């Protein structure tokens, strides 16, 4: 299927690993030029080599306004940005009563402010040009709030509100803003978490995953981790569908018991 993105420019924040890397790879394989950012040039170079010849990385920390400007300027050197994927995020398992104020602020900085800073620049240019598509990578935890991941759940819920609010700014234009909610995915960090959990419990990873789906996500219909490549396809489809604006696309393996999304 031709998504019509050949020769266009896509920014995928945090695209060196995980879901972001899969999204960047899909954009590249469909003909786009892809810009990713990170904090270490060597890691960016390795990721770009894996993605393909039209992938380019820049050291730019979106925890600062200067970093957002660096990323936007670097991408603009290749042409107008047609696609912006806000993918940066952090997560961990924690006890709500033990999470400090500083850690809460870190969550908001990573999971929201990084997206706000780069969107402030890129979305404004899209509206001026009357062309472009933005997606915020949220999580099924935004709807299925998780008690031992409260800061993560709260910030991912806030991301849905941010996405819809920015979509309101696109009324009557050819610019769109949507959000995407992946479920538990076989990224490096998630696999590392289950490997550590299995070691702690004295079980195999397969047994730990089986227990997870039985006890934590019994409503999940696939009962397995999602291949990151599936999210790459899903995000590109969402971002190139002109009929979809201001919506949340759910790709969680059926964990959330809802006929909507």
Q: What is the dihedral of CA 87, 93, 97, 101, to 10 degrees?
A: -30
Which residues on adjacent β-strands are paired with residue 256? none
Angle at Cα 196 formed by Cα 192 and Cα 199, nearest 5°? Answer: 140
Structure-token pair, residue 201: 């419990």
Structure-token pair, residue 187: 């990224």
38, 79 in Cβ contact below 8 A? no
Catalytic residue check, 152 = yes
The alpha-carbon radius of gyration of the chain (Å, integer) is 18
Selected catalytic residue, list 83, 152, 180, 213? 152
Distance CA 197, CA 178 (A): 34
If residue 135 lies in a helix (H) or strand (E), which one and from where to where? strand 132-137
- Reading phi first (left if > 0) and then psi (alpha if -120 to 50, else beta), residue 148 is in alpha
Catalytic residues: 152
């Amino acid at each position: 299927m031709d998504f019509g993105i050949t020769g266009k420019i896509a920014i995928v924040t945090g695209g060196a690993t995980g879901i972001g890397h899969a999204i960047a790879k899909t954009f590249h394989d469909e003909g786009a030029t892809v810009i990713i950012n990170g904090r270490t040039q060597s890691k960016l170079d390795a990721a770009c080599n894996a993605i393909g010849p039209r992938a380019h990385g820049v050291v730019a920390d979106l925890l600062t306004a200067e970093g957002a400007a660096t990323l936007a300027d670097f991408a603009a050197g290749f042409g107008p940005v047609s696609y912006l994927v806000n993918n940066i995020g952090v997560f961990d398992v924690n006890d709500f009563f033990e999470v400090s104020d500083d850690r809460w602020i870190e969550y908001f900085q990573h999971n929201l402010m990084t997206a706000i800073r780069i969107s402030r620049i890129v979305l404004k240019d899209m509206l001026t040009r009357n062309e472009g598509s933005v997606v915020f990578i949220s999580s099924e935890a935004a709807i299925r709030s998780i008690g031992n991941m409260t800061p993560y759940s709260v910030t991912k819920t806030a991301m849905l509100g941010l996405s819809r609010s920015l979509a309101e700014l696109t009324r009557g234009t050819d610019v769109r803003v949507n959000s995407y909610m992946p479920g538990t995915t076989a990224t490096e960090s998630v696999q590392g978490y289950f490997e550590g959990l299995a070691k702690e419990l004295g079980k195999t990873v397969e047994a730990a995953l089986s227990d997870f789906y039985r006890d934590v996500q019994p409503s999940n219909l696939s009962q397995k981790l999602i291949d990151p490549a599936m999210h790459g396809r899903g995000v590109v489809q969402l971002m190139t569908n002109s009929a979809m604006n201001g919506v949340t696309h759910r790709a969680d393996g059926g964990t959330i018991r809802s006929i909507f999304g």
